Amino acid sequence: MEKLLDVLLLGRLHFHELNLTGRVLMSQLPLNLTMLLVCAIVAVADPRKFRDPSFLAAQALAVGLFALCAVIPWRRLPYGAFLVIPFLDFIPVSLVRSSASDALSGLGLLAVFPVLWVAGSGYRARLMVLLGGVASLVMVWEPLFAAGTLDLRLLVGQLVTPIMMLAVGIGASVMTVSGMTQQSRVEELLDRSETREHLLDTVLETVDVGVIVLDAQGKGMFANSKQIEVYAAAMPADGVTADRESEMLIYREGSEAPLPPEQWALERALAGEEVERELYRLGAGPAARTVSVTVRGFVDAAGERAGTVVASSDVTDVVAAVRARDRFLSIMSHEFRTPIANIMGYAEMVQDDPLLSPTSRADLEVISRNAQHVNQMVDDILEAASGRDSTEIRLPLDLAELVREAGGSSSAEAKRRGIRLSVETDGALPILGDRTGLVRILDNLVSNALKYSGSGTEIALRASRDGEWAVCAVEDHGMGIASEDLDRIFTRFGRSASVIGTGIPGTGLGLALAREVAEKHGGTIECTSEVGVGSTFTVRLPLRGE
Ligand code: ADP
């Protein structure tokens, strides 16, 4: 009863939240309350009616029907069975109308309660509206039939109430059906969004990537178990509490000083910066993990920023493999190539000796050929290693050091060609890059400079800093390149017109590959040149932020 009253007084509880008996009682209640009101009015207007058996029967029936609503276990009956009550309601309404109409006007309008109930129940809407109209018609015609007054004018005169009831029924049913359709749509949408949520949860728990989602204020909304597992490595040994979060061990890959929180990818992303596959080391010692972090913001339905998603993939093993590969390739290209170049150079020199016996000359040719073969193999391995995927992982490097190494590994070849090779570097130039690809660019530029310069000239290798760029320049005083060829030499198989007839070996692939690698690093490669004076190739790569 308390619940019914709450619904009636538009309290916290709503009609659809009641159980079936509650809803049935609630639908019957307005008629009973109005019947009581009718009693009160009759008591004033015409108390004699309380002695009229029809009037009393109507009141008793109304109370009886209310009691039925309360005691019948509607849930156990087929759905819609409760609609018997509003149709039965027409009996007391009809009785009260015929017995008290002379004292009170408009009693036929009491039929509005059962009509609203049947039409608003949403059960077989069209049929119920029709039946409501028919019941109203029966209610107004029945007394005429009973009295035997079948005058057409009297019958037609009674049609206003049934027509009004039909209109009320149609209105109620239209609103109910539309409300029900809306509700089922909302339920469907809710179902769908729940399914999507389950799907998302499953995906997030299945993928091997740590994911954390923050709301627009930067408060954590969600973290998958991989995220918790990966970031466990960053916890100090004695654990971390919310107010000591800043003590988490997060380093930039390649650095030993823990990053202050404002430089964490997460904090920078919250400040509106874009973060794309940056490498961080979590924790110290052998248990440390290296993660590649990408951060993206997302917007709500209105297009406002709603939060941030941070994805961290554990690339510890990949980074270790890349490091091992780089070490191996570095040994290949420097420790291997220099002695091979020496073998080839000296073999050639000895071959020039006129006193050499034919057998020794033939032996030297074998030495020379095999050395060239090994040299070619090293080239092929380096070429293969600077393939597409190797630039995906960028490790901290020093461009100045790479330039010094390139100078060192070409010095024997320069000496052989009678060219002076100088190397100038000015402090460290920290960058993030693919070592193999960058070594390849530098080796290619230096070997071109040597190839296309005459003996007695000079080649300068310089590494310097220019604003946010690490710059490396290779300057020669060789044959130079005509201005119309400057674009072509960076395309695949592009060679300048002047070298094509010279017999200087080359494929025209080196500079195309160099440009591709430089651009993948967010950098550029350019050339300025003058025919007969010399060329300068300049590589610019973004300096790594401290
Ligand atoms: P390759 O040297 O194998 O032909 P590259 O792609 O390295 O291929 O160079 C493309 C072309 O650019 C060369 O064929 C040459 O015409 C020109 N070139 C490159 N470097 C120089 C240089 N230092 N001096 C003159 N010409 C050069």
* pLDDT averaged over every residue in the chain: 88
Atom of ligand 1 nearest to the CA of 476: 23
Who's near 337: CB < 8 A, 6+ residues apart?
Answer: 375, 378, 409
Instruction: Give, using CA atoms, the residue closest to atom 21 of ligand 1.
Output: 448
Atom of ligand 1 nearest to the CA of 513: 6
Identify which has the larger pLDDT, 268 or 310.
Answer: 310
Distance 486 CA to ligand 1 centre (A): 10
Among 459, 489, 528, 535, which residue has the most ligand 1 atoms within 8 Å of its CB, making it the best to mutate? 489
Instruction: Give the 3-state secondary structure of residue 470.
Output: strand
pLDDT band at 57 (very low <50, low <70, confident <90, very high): very high
Strands laid side by side in the 469-476 sheet:
420-425, 458-466, 469-476, 534-542, 524-530
Contact by Cβ (8 Å): 128, 119 = yes
Contact by Cβ (8 Å): 269, 275 = yes
Q: Rounded to whole angstroms, what are the CA distances from 302 to 269, 347, 376?
A: 21, 75, 60
For residue 104, which of 32, 42, 61, 43 has the smallest C-alpha distance? 42
Q: How many CB atoms lie within 10 A of CB 11?
A: 11
Distance 489 CA to ligand 1 centre (A): 6
Across 22-46, average pLDDT: 92
Q: Compute the distance between CA of residue 458 and CA of residue 423 in angstroms, rounded to an integer.
A: 11
Atom of ligand 1 nearest to the CA of 512: 6
- Beta carbon of 476 within 6 Å of any ligand 1 atom: yes
Identity of the highest mean pLDDT range in 207-221, 295-309, 351-365, 528-542: 528-542
Q: pLDDT tens digits, residue range 218-252?
A: 888 888 999 988 888 888 766 555 455 667 888 88
Atom of ligand 1 nearest to the CA of 453: 24
Identity of the highest mean pLDDT range in 287-291, 312-316, 516-520, 523-527: 523-527
pLDDT band at 186 (very low <50, low <70, confident <90, very high): very high
Which residue spans within 262-361 are E strands per DSSP? 275-282, 289-299, 305-314
Instruction: Give, using CA atoms, the residue closest to atom 14 of ligand 1.
Output: 495
- Beta carbon of 516 within 6 Å of any ligand 1 atom: no
Q: Compute the distance between CA of residue 470 and CA of residue 467 in angstroms, rounded to an integer.
A: 8
Distance 535 CA to ligand 1 centre (A): 10
Looking at the DSSP bridge assignments, the partners of residue 222 are 213
Distance 494 CA to ligand 1 centre (A): 8
- Tokens describing residue 477: 């005083």
Distance 136 CA to ligand 1 centre (A): 101
Q: pLDDT tens digits, residue range 61-86?
A: 999 999 999 999 999 999 889 999 99
- Structural fold of domain 208-314: Beta-Lactamase (3.30.450)
User: What pLDDT does 546 receive?
Assistant: 58
CATH number for the region 391-542 comes to: 3.30.565.10
Distance 461 CA to ligand 1 centre (A): 17
Across 191-198, average pLDDT: 94
Identify which has the larger pLDDT, 287 or 193.
Answer: 193
**Reported pTM:** 0.57
Who's near 468: CB < 8 A, 6+ residues apart?
Answer: 542, 543
Q: pLDDT tens digits, residue range 349-360?
A: 888 888 889 899
Q: pLDDT tens digits, residue range 403-462?
A: 999 998 888 889 989 999 999 998 999 998 888 889 889 989 999 999 999 999 999 999
How do 534-542 and 289-299 pair as beta strands?
unpaired
- Beta carbon of 449 within 6 Å of any ligand 1 atom: yes
User: What pLDDT does 238 receive?
Assistant: 63
User: What pLDDT does 246 receive?
Assistant: 67
Q: pLDDT tens digits, residue range 94-153?
A: 999 989 888 888 888 999 999 999 998 888 889 999 999 999 999 999 988 888 878 888
User: What pLDDT does 241 receive?
Assistant: 54
Distance 482 CA to ligand 1 centre (A): 12
Distance 496 CA to ligand 1 centre (A): 7
- Beta carbon of 511 within 6 Å of any ligand 1 atom: yes
Q: pLDDT tens digits, residue range 332-344?
A: 777 777 788 888 8
Determine phi and psi for 357, rounding to 5 degrees.
-75, 150
Across 502-519, average pLDDT: 86
- Beta carbon of 478 within 6 Å of any ligand 1 atom: yes
